[in-house]
Every structure is written in C-alpha cells, then in structure tokens.
C-alpha cells in the first residue's frame, strides 16, 4: 500500500487491530505523495490526498477534517499571550507548499491580510514535526492532531477552524476489489474511518463537489 505520509500518522496506532483480524496478510507500507501507477507498479491500494473520480478506479472518500492552528506547549508558555489571530505573526509561521496556509487562516479568522511568510514544507508530516518540535505555528488537521492535543504534545489555538474538506481517499482498481487482501484492508480501514467526526458527511461532500483540500500530483 502506498499512502500519503500524513495518513500513515493516523493509521499507525490502529494497525495492530488489522493484524489481529488478519494475521496471515503481510502489509507493506510506503509513505509517498506520488500517485501509484497500478499498471506498472506492485501497489494494491493507494491512499491519496483529496477526492478525484478516475475511470477504472474505485475512489472511496475516507477521511474528512477541519483545520486550525496548533503550537508546541513549551513554546506557548514562554511566549507573550496570544489573544487575537494577528498575534500569530509574532511567531515563525509554518506552511505546507500548495495549501491554504496560516496567513489565509488569519484573514479567515478576522485578522488583517498580509504577505505570506515563514517556512514552507513539501510534506504535511514534516510541517507537523516542526510544530511538535517547537519551531513555530502551523495548521493542524483535526483528525490527525487531536491525539497529540489529548496527549499535550500540541495545543490548539482559537476555536475558529477552516471548513471541513475531504482529506484522504482510498484508491484501487475496480477489478482488484475482490482480491482477498484488498477486500480485507478496504473493509477494515473504512470501518476504522467510519467512527471519525464528519464521516457521515463524506457522501454528500463527494457528490456535491465540495470535496478537496487540494489534489496532489
């Protein structure tokens, strides 16, 4: 399986449940944003950013999430109080290339528009690691950072959040869906995602076109 690295961050704590149910299936994981070429590569399943119907492929919206600013708790404690969105500009702003960033969020939350600045990362998991290490403030996807917030590794800033969008989709060739190992993993991971916040909204978002944070190449 090839999956977006951010998805693997969500998946890893849950994998033991899959192995308990299917101990005979060997799951090989590859973290990459590069779309799988099912015709030429040995990949059964591809977890991709966003949602995009593709001929010959079964594309299943899997996880939706909102986004909001997060910060390392130690950095927050040693800094002046953050009282309004514009206060975030006192910090290093951490962005993911090609995505709505913290400058967009500050404006969305009622702050003053400004020129985008800060550090940019090519992968979301690298951005999130930098936030966790106290390098600055970044936007966190709720479905991914909520466990870090519960464990007090991160702190959420403000109640304002970007609207919910489809974050990840499960992609596999239609003809392969009956393969036992593909069917087993699809069934299991869809079940795991079904208990998440906004899971019931996925069909509506997919059918309405309100579907994607961004589509990766």
Position 33 scores a pLDDT of 83
CATH code, domain carrying 69:
3.40.190.10
One domain, residues 117 and 177? no
Those residues whose C-beta lies under 8 Å from the C-beta of residue 53, and which sit 6 or more positions away, are 59
One domain, residues 7 and 97? no
Those residues whose C-beta lies under 8 Å from the C-beta of residue 109, and which sit 6 or more positions away, are 85, 158, 160
Mean pLDDT of the chain: 87
Q: What are 138-160's pLDDT values in tens digits?
A: 999 998 899 899 999 999 999 99
Tell me the residue range of the domain where 36 lies. Answer: 2-64+164-208
One domain, residues 155 and 168? no
The domain boundary residue, chosen from 145, 163, 181: 163
Q: What are 27-40's pLDDT values in tens digits?
A: 999 988 889 999 99
For residue 216, is it within any domain?
Answer: no
Those residues whose C-beta lies under 8 Å from the C-beta of residue 98, and which sit 6 or more positions away, are 214
Q: What are 42-84's pLDDT values in tens digits?
A: 999 999 988 888 889 999 988 888 899 999 999 999 999 999 9
For residue 140, is it within any domain?
Answer: yes
Position 117 scores a pLDDT of 73
Count of Cβ atoms closer than 10 Å to residue 35 Cβ: 18
One domain, residues 155 and 82? yes
Those residues whose C-beta lies under 8 Å from the C-beta of residue 96, and which sit 6 or more positions away, are 120, 121, 122, 123, 124, 127, 138, 139
Residues 180-201 have a mean pLDDT of 86
Residues 73-99 have a mean pLDDT of 91
pTM to 2 decimal places: 0.79
C-alpha 1/C-alpha 52 separation (Å) is: 18
Position 162 scores a pLDDT of 86
Domain count, the chain: 2
One domain, residues 106 and 143? yes
Those residues whose C-beta lies under 8 Å from the C-beta of residue 134, and which sit 6 or more positions away, are 72, 74, 75
One domain, residues 107 and 139? yes
């Amino acid at each position: 399986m090839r999956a977006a690295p951010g998805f693997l961050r969500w998946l890893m704590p849950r994998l033991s449940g899959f192995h308990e149910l299917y101990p005979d299936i060997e799951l090989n994981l590859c973290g990459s944003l590069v779309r799988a070429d099912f015709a030429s590569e040995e990949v059964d399943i591809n977890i991709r950013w966003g949602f995009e119907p593709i001929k010959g492929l079964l594309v299943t919206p899997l996880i939706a999430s909102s986004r909001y600013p997060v910060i390392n708790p130690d950095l927050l404690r040693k800094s002046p109080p953050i009282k309004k969105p514009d206060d975030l500009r006192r910090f290093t702003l951490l962005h993911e290339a090609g995505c709505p960033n913290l400058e967009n969020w500050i404006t969305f939350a009622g702050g003053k528009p400004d020129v985008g600045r800060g550090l940019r990362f090519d992968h979301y998991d690298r951005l999130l690691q930098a936030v966790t290490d106290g390098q600055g403030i970044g936007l966190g996807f709720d479905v991914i950072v909520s466990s870090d917030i519960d464990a007090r590794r991160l702190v959420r800033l403000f109640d304002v959040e970007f609207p919910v969008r489809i974050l990840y989709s499960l992609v596999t060739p239609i003809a392969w869906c009956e393969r036992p190992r593909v069917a087993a993993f699809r069934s299991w991971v869809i079940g795991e995602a079904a208990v998440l916040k906004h899971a019931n909204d996925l069909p509506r978002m997919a059918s309405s076109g309100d579907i994607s944070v961004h589509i990766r190449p």
